[in-house]
Amino acid sequence: MRAMSCQHYSQHEHGAKSFTVVMPKITFGRGCLAEIGVRAKARDFTRVALFTDPFLRNGPYFETAVNTLQASGIDVAVFSEIRIEPDDNTIIAAAEFLRDGQFDGVISVGGGSTMDTAKAGMVYALYPAEFTDYFGPPVGAGKPVPGSLLPHIACPTTSGTGSECTSVAVIRINALNTKFVVGSPHMMPSEALVDPACTDTLAANVVASTGYDLLCHALECYTARAYAAWDYIPEPNSRSLLQGSNPWSDMSARAALEIIRNYLVRGVNDQTDCEARDQLMWGATLAGMAFGNSGTHLPHAMSYGITHLMDNITTNDYQVASPFVPHGISVMVCAPAIFRYIAEGAPQRHLSAAGFLGANAKDAIPSDAGEIVAEELIRLIRRTNGPNGISGVGFNVEDVKDLAASAVRQSRAIQNAPRVVEQQEIENIFTSAVSYW
Ligand SMILES: [Fe+2]
């Protein structure tokens, strides 16, 4: 069997010959959150574990979820001890809650932290292990999740994470002071209810940060190493869904980038612009469909140190104690410097992506690609009042070595980049990401 024929996906000597797409059943539209009860009933749920966060627990989305589940005759037990950036303690507590609860289904209502806690909690509830066992090397033993989890209906309330249609969870490991990805095809939710009305009340800063996350998911997928350039793995069940770019992720990523082009600035700057907020929610789901089946690369790999090494940053509009850098901002602050450097590894792809984002790349030559993408990203950051590089979130050149040492542990994501980078190149990129204007 040959890999799909086209220049980007041409067969490598020992490369993968196929790619796999895994997706939940997805319902998208205003008001669909109220369908939770009926949809849970259709799955024969009788008693569910409902995951949400402490702030949403006092709000209308949680109330809708509980009311419709109870109206369908389903017992509900709630786990809401979820912090933004869930850590190993959160997951262990979630696993204990699940283990004791006699549940036949799981429902999550919240952002990426909530959905990821539900996914990872199920792994450790059903298949207890040393905490790092299911994480990839060099942090963990890289053991596969042994089998199926409970059926999971995921309901995102922010327009960025895409976690409702990915098979990964991002968890902070306290002893290592950073976040790592745990992933398995078994962690893919069974169903997603994506209701953009949940984003109507989000503050501008939150829409900007989650929008940066969706933008980077899409741009990283589109520019990722081709699946055919990863080594062929004979055993199909051992293959990761973080498998590199492929025609499926290209299609979803392109659509998501075009949504960013048309709606990010509008959605951030006008809370009443429902069209823009609906589109951003759809873009987040599309970008999730993309990265859940291809994997991200350097902007995400380099974001984790930023999230966990900062100590003096205050962020408005998030209900969480500072110091705190929202995930989307931590991903975006290095992105211009990253793409400026790595575009050389796949210039045509970067020129195409820049065009989807609205840049005029028609007459550009391959060596312009990095600069064109970087300028487009900086333009979007400035139009949405984002921070000016890593100095905008409290870092400077003295921090570069520590940031790079943290990033370099994200080996799978780093290998998914279109250009080979090692610790020295990562240091150089952080240095050039200190400020952009
Ligand atoms: Fe992300």
Quick one: pLDDT at residue 84? 80
**Which residues neighbour ligand 1 (ion) by CB within 5 Å?**
213
CA of 243 to the centre of ligand 1 (A): 17
Going by CATH, does the domain composed of 31-194 fall within 3.90.1150.10? Answer: no
Rounded to the nearest 10 degrees, how much is the dihedral formed by the CA atoms of 395, 159, 372, 296? 70
Write out the H or E segment, with its range, that includes residue 171: strand 168-173
CA of 266 to the centre of ligand 1 (A): 21
DSSP state string for 131-162: GGGGBPTTTS--PPP-S----EEEEE-SSS--
Burial of 138 per CB tally in 10 Å (0-12, 13-18, 19+):
exposed
323: left (phi over 0), alpha (psi -120 to 50) or beta: beta
The string of pLDDT tens digits covering residues 216-247 is 999 999 999 999 999 999 999 888 889 999 99
* Per-residue pLDDT tens digits of the chain, which is 437 residues long: 555 556 788 888 899 999 999 999 999 999 999 999 999 999 999 999 999 999 999 999 999 999 999 999 999 999 999 988 899 999 999 999 999 999 999 999 999 999 999 999 999 999 999 999 999 888 889 899 999 999 999 999 999 999 999 999 999 888 887 788 999 999 999 999 999 999 999 999 999 999 999 999 999 999 999 999 999 999 998 888 899 999 999 999 999 999 999 999 999 999 999 999 999 999 999 999 999 999 999 999 999 888 877 665 555 666 555 457 899 999 999 999 999 999 999 999 999 999 999 999 888 999 999 999 999 999 999 999 999 999 999 899 999 999 999 899 888 899 999 999 999 999 999 999 999 99
CA of 333 to the centre of ligand 1 (A): 13
Q: Is the dihedral of CA 230, 129, 115, 64 positive or negative?
A: positive
* Architecture of domain 204-432 in this structure: Up-down Bundle (1.20)
State both tokens at 23. Answer: 């997706």
Burial of 40 per CB tally in 10 Å (0-12, 13-18, 19+):
buried
CA of 227 to the centre of ligand 1 (A): 20
Domains in the chain: boundaries: 31-194, 204-432
CA of 210 to the centre of ligand 1 (A): 8
Quick one: pLDDT at residue 219? 98
CA of 161 to the centre of ligand 1 (A): 6
Nearest residue to 294 via CA among 11, 12, 23, 1: 23
CA of 410 to the centre of ligand 1 (A): 14
Quick one: pLDDT at residue 237? 85
CA of 290 to the centre of ligand 1 (A): 12
How big is the CA angle at 291 (ends 119 and 107), to the nearest 5 degrees?
Answer: 25
Quick one: pLDDT at residue 71? 98
The string of pLDDT tens digits covering residues 315-360 is 566 655 545 789 999 999 999 999 999 999 999 999 999 999 999 9
CA of 170 to the centre of ligand 1 (A): 9
CA of 2 to the centre of ligand 1 (A): 32
d(CA 267, CA 269) in angstroms, rounded, equals 6
CA of 163 to the centre of ligand 1 (A): 9
State both tokens at 260. Answer: 């960013």
Write out the H or E segment, with its range, that includes residue 110: strand 105-110
CA of 10 to the centre of ligand 1 (A): 29
CA of 71 to the centre of ligand 1 (A): 35
d(CA 192, CA 36) in angstroms, rounded, equals 10
d(CA 426, CA 248) in angstroms, rounded, equals 29
DSSP tag of 245: B
CA of 100 to the centre of ligand 1 (A): 31
Does this model's pTM top 0.85? My answer is yes
Quick one: pLDDT at residue 323? 57
Contact (Cβ atoms closer than 8 angstroms) between residue 38 and residue 257 = no
Buried b (16+ CB within 10 A) or exposed e, 171-199: bbbeebebbbbbbbbbbbbbbbbbbbbbb
CA of 351 to the centre of ligand 1 (A): 22
Contact (Cβ atoms closer than 8 angstroms) between residue 168 and residue 242 = yes
CA of 213 to the centre of ligand 1 (A): 5
Quick one: pLDDT at residue 315? 58
